[in-house]
Amino acid sequence: MAKKVNRDLEKSYNMAQIAAKLRRLADCLESGKPFRIQIANERINVPAHAEFNIEHEREGKSEEIEFQFKWQN
C-alpha cells in the first residue's frame, strides 16, 4: 500500500509566466476542462469539478492572497 505524503510545493514565476498560466486556467474554467500545471517539477491535474476559493491573509504588515483549488482523489 502506498504511503500518503503531505507536502507543500511552491514556485515563483515572473509576471509573463503568471499571465500565461492564468490565461490557460481561465480557458479551462470556461470550457469545463481539467487544468494541468507543473509546479516545482511535479505535474498536477486539477479536475474540472474541483472547488475554487480565494484566501486573503494579513499578519502585521505582510499580506497574502492565495488562489486555491481543492478536490478529493
pTM equals 0.73
Question: Rounded to whole angstroms, what are the CA distances from 34 to 1, 14, 53, 69, 73?
Answer: 27, 24, 16, 11, 14
pLDDT in tens, 8-20: 878 888 999 999 9
Average of per-residue pLDDT across 18-44? 93
Nearest Cα to Cα of residue 51 among 20, 24, 72: 72
Distance (Å, rounded) from C-alpha 57 to C-alpha 65?
Answer: 6
CA within 13 Å, CB half, 35: 25
